[in-house]
Amino acid sequence: MSESSSDEPHSSRYISVPNALQLISKPFNGNPLELREFIPNVEATYLVAEPSDYSLLLKFVCAKIGGEAKTKLLSRTHLYTWKQVKAVLEENYSIRRTLDYYAHRAFTSKQGQAETISQWGVRMDTVCGDLQWAACIPMEDLAWTNGKR
């Protein structure tokens, strides 16, 4: 009788750091619109990499950050985890608008005169993605952000 999947060695559930890094499709150079793609890709790499490799993985993730964003990271001395790096990136590059703003845009958007239905559909996909992103922000973070800005 074969062994059950729960009896597999713990390390077989993870992939190597080089393979995990393939989930990060492109580097982040400070474009706020690309941050929403970069962060989930990095978090996916952490889900599939061995936890004992996290410090090595962080070095490779930081190597995927360039331009002005890299300069901002280099000016910090306390970045030892992905959570800390992510906080710096979000603090400097995330587009922060309220849930109401995105909901209003979604509910009042109309197709433009010269806009095809497919162009409007793409625009609405972006608006709804923004709305979903804003809905995921914890309320404590919004309270802290509004007090600081």
Residue 92's Cα: distance from chain center in Å?
A: 13
pLDDT along the chain (149 residues), means of 10: 47 86 93 89 94 94 94 86 92 79 86 92 88 68 50
Backbone φ and ψ for 98, nearest 5 degrees, come out as: -80, 160
Torsion of CA 127, 132, 133, 135, to 10 degrees: 130
Determine the pLDDT at residue 92: 86
Determine the pLDDT at residue 85: 94
Determine the pLDDT at residue 82: 94
Handedness of CA 51, 62, 131, 148 (dihedral sign): positive
